[in-house]
Structure 1
Amino acid sequence: MPLVQVSLRRGKPAAYHQAIFDRVYRAMRETFNVPEDDRFMAITEHDASTFSVSPTYFGIARSDDAILLQLTVSNTRTREQKQALYRRIVEVLQESPGLRPEDVFINLVEVLPENWSFGHGIAQYVANKS
């Protein structure tokens, strides 16, 4: 159920993109109990003129390799699970594709379970509930 949207600067190879997909999915499975095959992700690349990330906000030195990860999730996770997810995403992206921890910006957008439809125009999470 998480919908993952990744924004980054243009120019990375397909293997770099795939590593991001695979590693973020792995982190979600390990910390958020995301089921097998629950994988909905997109990467959007930007030219330098359409991608702006503060190089120093909060005293964090970011490079041109910074990425923005926005995950839309159901509002069912604890604060501890969220913090574990943030840590794990940074760990696995550092392993591959080799992102610096300073370059990983993560934002969670929480929505109610009835705000999801996975097809057929049905809100699957609430369709069978009274």
Structure 2
Amino acid sequence: MPLVHLHLVEGRRTPEEVRRLADVVQQTLLDVFAAPERDRYQLISEHKPGFMIAEDTGLGIERTDDLVILQITQQGRDLDQKRALYATLAERLEAECGLAPSDLIVSLTENTKEDWSFGNGVAQFVEGQL
């Protein structure tokens, strides 16, 4: 049940381009992480220019204001799946949205089944509803 937070620089993309970006991220999660259909939880935040700062950690990566930072909270994926996600996101977002791989940062956060409630005050995984 990935929860995705997309961070973008305000004014760089049309609403249609933002939706396409979100759609590509979702399809990649379905394909690589085997997320269930209709398991889409995305937050999209646009930040004023200058309010997203992403240096290169000494890697020599040049970034532009097209920068996209993805924060993905998920559970149960192994290292191979994570590596495949990073590579596939970079490939697809470049091909389908024109995003340079150098303008993509992905951060995965692990949690457990008891860390989710999808509504009604119930931990659906724990209660066996999912």
Which aligned runs of 4 or more in structure 1 are off by greater than 6 angstroms? Answer: none
Please report how far the alpha carbon of residue 50 of structure 1 lies from its aligned counterpart in structure 2 after TM superposition: 1.8
What's the counterpart of residue 19 of structure 2? Answer: 18
The 1-side partners of 2:113 and 2:59 are apart by 33
The 2-side partners of 1:116 and 1:44 are apart by 22
For 2:34, give the aligned amino acid. Answer: N
Please report how far the alpha carbon of residue 9 of structure 1 lies from its aligned counterpart in structure 2 after TM superposition: 0.5
What's the counterpart of residue 42 of structure 2? Answer: 41
Residue pair 1:56, 1:62 contacting (<8 A) in 2 also: no
Alpha-carbon displacement from aligned partner over 1:43-76 (angstroms, at most 9, x marks no partner): 10011232212267421111111111000001x1
The 2-side partners of 1:93 and 1:63 are apart by 15
Match runs of 1:105-124 below 5 Å: 105-124=105-124
Q: What is the SS of the residue equivalent to 1:49? A: coil
Listed as ranges, the gaps of 5+ residues in structure 2 are none
- What is the TM-score with the length of structure 1 in the denominator? 0.92
For 2:126, give the aligned amino acid. Answer: V
Please report how far the alpha carbon of residue 2 of structure 1 lies from its aligned counterpart in structure 2 after TM superposition: 0.4
Residue pair 1:8, 1:65 contacting (<8 A) in 2 also: yes
What's the counterpart of residue 83 of structure 1? Answer: 83
The number of residues matched between the two structures is: 128
For 1:39, give the aligned amino acid. Answer: R
For 2:5, give the aligned amino acid. Answer: Q
Alpha-carbon displacement from aligned partner over 1:69-121 (angstroms, at most 9, x marks no partner): 000001x1110000001111111111222100110000001001110011111
Q: What is the SS of the residue equivalent to 1:87? A: helix
- What is the TM-score with the length of structure 2 in the denominator? 0.92
What's the counterpart of residue 100 of structure 1? Answer: 100
Q: What is the SS of the residue equivalent to 1:17? A: helix
Listed as ranges, the gaps of 5+ residues in structure 1 are none
Give the RMSD, CA atoms, in angstroms.
1.5
Q: What is the SS of the residue equivalent to 2:120? A: coil
The 1-side partners of 2:8 and 2:128 are apart by 39
For 2:117, give the aligned amino acid. Answer: S
